[in-house]
Structure 1
Amino acid sequence: MAPRSSAESELSALLDEIPSWPDAMLVHMHKRFGTSRLFRVHHDPDGPLTQRALTLRAAAFEEMSRRGLEALAEDED
């Protein structure tokens, strides 16, 4: 099934917004994109990440790397 065009435009808008996030929010959201059930297939806590989550997490990590920030451990807030 192809993604809805509104979902694609929302993803694009979010990707465009990532560089404007403050450092703390950027690091927090990078972690959240990888740990939240909301970003897993069928919201299964042990399921794989959705493609959108992988895309968002990679974009957040790229911005963190550009700023010289380190990722939080999964058990770190």
Structure 2
Amino acid sequence: MERETGGRLNREWMIPSATLETTGAKSGLPQAVQITCFHDGRDRLELGGTKHPHRYYNLIAHTQCQLGRE
């Protein structure tokens, strides 16, 4: 949604988010996902559910990632 709207939707709804770029755990291909997150001082907190999302397994397999182009 972020890519399709150029970020317009998140700005209109005031949803804090960032793009997390990882490498696929099985495929080895680049993956990008928009996550909802908030700042707590210098730390970022992500809102999540009760199960680990696919990005968790990507990060366990390949620890190199980029969050929000930082």
TM-score by length of 1: 0.33
| Higher strand residue share | 2
TM-score by length of 2: 0.35
| Higher helix residue share | 1
